[in-house]
């Protein structure tokens, strides 16, 4: 198996790149989806989060109020660390389970907080998507309805572009037009295939 880590800042274009990669022969695992899975109603994860932050983070139907939780943790670094201490081990265990169960030769793991969470999975290639802070703010305000102040706070809460680039093997410009981005993703996929074939060949020797 060849494992690719796909990261990048908020509103950098990760989802767009992932959608383009999904057209090829691979399995995509999304850390955000797993993060939602581990706090579904009646899970150990949700019970631990409620024990830490109180029942006010629950909706009337017993599900997690992500908006309320996000508000709590973004205003308090200690609470954010407490939440990460609960969620990251659960996400890690579920992710490694998904990876080990995969029948695909190439697995792409979308992990926004690769640097922040010190994700140490055995990646064969790490790719970061970067669009620049101005583009990130513009997208968050126009596409997600955030205020400029909230957008800046969300970006500031993450690792910086240089920190992600230092961890990555390859950087893709998420500010490109869709046509140019599609071309870059096609090149990336060819590179992934070549590296995966080399790894598989060496594994047989």
| 3-class SS string, 73-121 | HHCCHHHHHHHHHHHHHHHHHHHHHHHHHCCCCEEEEECCCCCCCCCCC
Dump pLDDT digits (tens) for 176-197: 999 999 999 999 999 999 999 9
Q: Which CATH number belongs to the domain containing residue 44 in this structure?
A: 3.40.50.300
Are 134 and 90 in the same domain?
no
| Residue 184: C-alpha distances to residues 21, 171, 176, 181, 187 (Å) | 11, 10, 9, 5, 5
Q: What is the pLDDT of residue 99?
A: 94
**14-21 and 178-204 are packed helices; what angle lies between their axes, rounded to 10 degrees?**
60
Are 42 and 118 in the same domain?
no
Q: What is the pLDDT of residue 70?
A: 87
Token pair 């973004």 in the structure block, residue: 74
Are 71 and 99 in the same domain?
yes
Are 137 and 82 in the same domain?
no
Last residue of a domain, one of 78, 103, 128: 103
Provide the whole-model pTM: 0.89
Dump pLDDT digits (tens) for 77-87: 899 899 989 99
Dump pLDDT digits (tens) for 57-66: 999 999 999 9
Last residue of a domain, one of 85, 103, 121: 103
Q: How many domains is the chain built from?
A: 2
Are 85 and 112 in the same domain?
no
User: At residue 124, does pLDDT exceed 90?
Assistant: yes
Q: What is the pLDDT of residue 205?
A: 44
Is 61 strand, coil or helix?
coil
- 165 is written with which tokens? 């680039």
First-last CA distance in the chain: 16
Q: Which domain holds residue 79?
A: 32-103
Are 112 and 200 in the same domain?
yes
């Amino acid at each position: 198996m060849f494992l690719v880590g796909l990261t990048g800042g908020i509103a950098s274009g990760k989802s767009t790149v992932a959608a383009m990669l999904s057209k090829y022969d691979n399995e995509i695992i999304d850390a955000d989806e797993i993060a939602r899975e581990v706090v579904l109603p009646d899970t150990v994860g949700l019970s631990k989060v409620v024990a830490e932050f109180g029942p006010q983070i629950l909706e009337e139907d017993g599900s997690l109020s992500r908006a309320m939780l996000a508000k709590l943790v973004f205003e308090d670094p200690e609470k954010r660390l407490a939440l990460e201490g609960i969620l990251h081990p659960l996400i890690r265990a579920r992710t490694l389970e998904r990876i080990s169960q995969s029948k695909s030769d190439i697995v792409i793991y979308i992990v926004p907080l690769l640097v922040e969470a010190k994700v140490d999975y055995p990646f064969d290639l790490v790719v970061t998507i970067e669009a620049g802070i101005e583009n990130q703010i513009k997208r968050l305000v126009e596409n997600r309805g955030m205020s400029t102040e909230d957008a800046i706070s969300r970006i500031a809460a993450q690792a910086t572009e240089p920190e992600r680039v230092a961890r990555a093997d390859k950087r893709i410009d998420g500010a490109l037009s869709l046509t140019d981005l599609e071309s870059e993703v096609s090149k990336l996929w060819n590179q992934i295939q070549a590296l995966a074939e080399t790894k598989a060949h060496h594994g047989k020797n």
